[in-house]
Amino acid sequence: MESLWTKLQALLSYDPLSPLIFSSGLFLYLFVGFFLGYWLLRNTTRMRILYVVAFSLYFYYKSSGFYFVLLLLAATYDYLIGYSLYFTKSPRARKWLVAMSVVINLGMLGYFKYTNFLVDMTNELFGAGFLEFQNIFLPVGISFFVFQSMSYTIDIYRGQLRPLDSWFDYLFYLSFFPQLVAGPIVRASNFIPQIRRKAVVTREMLGTALFLILTGLFKKAVISDYIALNFVDRIFDEPLLYSGFECLMGIYGYALQIYCDFSGYSDMAIGLALMMGFRFPKNFDAPYRSATITEFWRRWHISLSSWLRDYLYISLGGNRKGKGRTYLNLLLTMLLGGLWHGAAIRFILWGALHGVALALHKMWLAVVPGAKVLGKDMNPVMRLLGILFTFHLVCLGWLVFRADSMQTAGLMLHQIFAAFDPNLIPQIVAGYRGAFLLMAIGYLLHAIPDRGDSWLRGVITRAPMGWQVAMVVVMIWLVMQVKSSDIQPFIYFQF
């Protein structure tokens, strides 16, 4: 009895060292129980909504503790503001209302995410101790649900959306657990029409969901976690202890790690939502096959890049105010996009690098006749050269993004150019055999053409139920073979 009570307490309590994530065994057990209840309630709309909201709040509580109250607050004030926006006729009042939503959302985000960054910057200017650092916990996923909530009120202000009549419906949209803590950032205009639609899940949808969950789990729990713990983290922690080849492979490894980590989460989120009858847009589309930096941002974290385009870049004027202003708008958008990722100089520099690259590519398109935006429009040689150039430009950005300091980034570049020593390559590859094998598998899978991905999706989707169960068992066994003693949180949980 005491053991049962202890387990129940663990289920109902928040452990900051062990957040509830999709790749954990606990989530698997909880989701199976949740899904059985969901299936029983699928034809009773009101009960289904309340049931999903309750589980979503529990899921967020297990990820961020009592900070789930922030989610309730965001759902309340933006629901009220959105309702007021729709029925207010005065243009001046409507501007004040949408400004209030933006200020409250960004103010909440700024307090939790940037207070200590500003304190640090102030102390750099006026001397150590001028301001005291605050003990502030960053709630998981706050950047994602704040952006979702802002898109709701902005779309109503622009006349593109009608507000919801029910607060619970809005809470359902904002708290929906598959995308709550790390995206994708789902637009209200895409999601809201699905809330009260009859929950229909076909055999094909279940098969597609299984494909997405299995591939996402493989990318996250097998490739990303293994190469991070057994290779990438070691290189970035002490780059001077490693050769230039190891440092270069560490950068390539991190590029694969962050892609597999984040796209793996997105795949699982999309798959879990699909199992409940909800369709999310694709969030990643083989970004390292991009032949230009513009194409990269059409393939990487699509929900964020499109959000920045529609709500920031266009609001700044987009490309409507001349070439110079267009380049400036691109730079400002990416600077703020970098700052969205975290309160540190390295994220701002990462955003600046991409902003400058996007502006230069836009300039290149304007002055070079026949220059292409997308690789599919290039001849094979130019496309290959473009992919190699774009990939290494992106990797340079990942170096700045991942390194703890610019000194670390500088040391890694120094090792690459001054201590490469190709004679060590066979020995290094043999020493990190497992990590290099998974890196090779990851990049080879990434390079598979779309038709290969569609074929594999079809094989899993159309497989008999017994074979699908066997695939799940094999994947769980594989995850158990490579996992570390501690569950590795998703990288984007910190953003």
Write the pLDDT tens digit of every residue in 171-212: 999 999 888 877 788 888 889 999 888 888 888 888 899 999
Q: Confidence band (pLDDT; 50, 70, 90) for 473?
A: confident
- Report the chain's mean pLDDT, rounded to a whole number: 87
Residue count of the chain, please give it: 495
Cβ–Cβ under 8 Å, residues 172 and 52: yes
Q: Confidence band (pLDDT; 50, 70, 90) for 292?
A: very high
Catalytic residue selected from 301, 341, 354, 361? 341
Cβ–Cβ under 8 Å, residues 253 and 198: no
DSSP string for 76-126: HHHHHHHHHHHH---HHHHHHHHHHHHHHHHHHHHHHHHHHHHHHHHHHHH
Domains of the chain by residue range:
13-199, 203-291+374-494
Percent of the chain predicted with pLDDT > 90: 44
Mean pLDDT across 466-490: 75
Q: Confidence band (pLDDT; 50, 70, 90) for 462?
A: confident
Is the per-residue pLDDT at 461 higher than 90? Answer: no
pLDDT value for 492? 61
Enumerate the H helices of 311-379 as residue ranges. 323-341, 345-367
pLDDT value for 353? 95
Structure confidence by residue, pLDDT tens digits, 331-374: 999 998 988 888 788 999 999 999 999 999 999 988 888 888 88
Q: Confidence band (pLDDT; 50, 70, 90) for 130?
A: low
CA 148-63-442 angle, to 5 degrees, is 80
Enumerate the H helices of 127-157 as residue ranges. 142-157
Lowest-pLDDT range, 6-10, 61-65, 176-180, 311-315? 6-10
- 354 catalytic per annotation: no
Q: Is 2 exposed, middle or buried (0-12, 13-18, 19+ CB in 10 A)?
A: exposed
Cα dihedral 133→134→140→145 (10° resolution): -100
Cα separations (Å) of 378 from 296, 360, 392?
Answer: 15, 19, 19
Structure confidence by residue, pLDDT tens digits, 22-33: 777 778 888 888
DSSP character at residue 314: T
Reduced to 3 DSSP states, what percent helix, strand and coil does the chain have, rounded to the nearest 5? Answer: 75, 0, 25
